[in-house]
Structure formats: C-alpha cells, structure tokens
Amino acid sequence: MSEMNPYDSFLRVSEMWEKGLNGLLFQSIDNNPLIQMTKVGIEANSRYIERLKRNRELMANYMNLPTKNDVANAVKQTIQAEEKIDILEEKIWNLQESFALATDAQNKMLGEILEFTKHIHSEWQKTSLELAKLSEIKNEFEAMKELLQKEKEEPVLTAK
C-alpha cells in the first residue's frame, strides 16, 4: 500500500523536474552566446533608460515641472537655510543676553551717577549755606572794623 501513496509519486516527479531545471540552468549559464546576448540587451536597455531620463527632464523643463534633481536641490537649500537660521537665532539670543547685561550695567551706573549727583547737590547746598553764613560774618567783621577805625579816629569825648 505504501507504493500507491500519491505523495511519494509527487515527490519523485518533483525531484526529477528539479534536476532537469537545474541542469538546464547550468547549461544556459555556461552558454557564452546567451551571456553575450544578455550583455547586449542590458546595454541597449540602459541606453534606453538614459534616453528616457533625459526626455523626462526635457519635458519637465518644457512643462515647467520640478524634476527629481530640482527637488533634491530645493531640499538641500532648505536644510542649509534652516541651519543658517539656527545659527542666527543663537547669535540673536547671545545679543539679547549681552544687551540685557549692558542694560543692567548701564542702569547700575546711572543709579550711581544719580546718587553721586544727589550727594554733590546736598554738599553744594551745605557749602552755599556756609558761604552765606561766612558772608554775614564777614559783613559783621567789616562793620566792627569800621567801628573800631571810627573809634580810633575820633577822640574819646567822654573824658572831657
């Protein structure tokens, strides 16, 4: 009964077909004229593909459509522009930080100048008051000096 098994028959037929096809493949691979014909076919096909590419680009240019190279260049330029924008953003942030530091330093300096100006103003007012007092004292001394000179010049009338 095992001789009548259809799977065994199918297996034997498959093995025979495999051996036959493998033999045919090996013969065709060793076949030098077939290799030469394949080479000629590949060269003709590659020329045809190149011609198609050129025609496609010419038609795209004529119809004002972007080609694969145009899109690649646009993407490349976009990436370069984004990198430059990133660099510019970084420089802007650095400038903003520098401006903030400069503004803080300027505000601090202006505060110091304001305090110094207030101090000078208060000192000037004190000096003005002292000058006014000194002027009064000077006037009093001059008045006393005049009195003393008048007394020296006039004889004393009380002695008679």
Query: Rounded mean pLDDT of 44-50?
Result: 93
Do residues 34 and 28 lie in contact, with contact meaning Cβ atoms separated by under 8 Å?
yes
Domain residue ranges of the chain, discontinuous segments joined by + = 10-65, 71-160
Range of lowest pLDDT (21-35, 103-117, 137-151): 21-35
pLDDT on residue 157: 55
Do residues 67 and 57 lie in contact, with contact meaning Cβ atoms separated by under 8 Å?
yes
pLDDT at 1 over 50: no
Residue 53 CA to residue 65 CA, distance in Å, equals 14
pLDDT at 158 over 70: no
pLDDT at 3 over 90: no
Query: Rounded mean pLDDT of 79-91?
Result: 97
Residue 37 CA to residue 32 CA, distance in Å, equals 9
pLDDT on residue 2: 52
Residue 127 CA to residue 136 CA, distance in Å, equals 14
Mean per-residue pLDDT of the chain: 89
Q: Which residue has the tokens 């208060």?
A: 122
Query: Rounded mean pLDDT of 65-71?
Result: 86
Query: Rounded mean pLDDT of 102-121?
Result: 96
Note the maximum CA span of the chain: 187
* Planar angle of CA 149, 152, 132, nearest 5 degrees: 25
pLDDT on residue 65: 84
Range of lowest pLDDT (9-13, 28-32, 48-52, 75-79): 28-32
- Classified as helix, coil or strand, 63 is coil
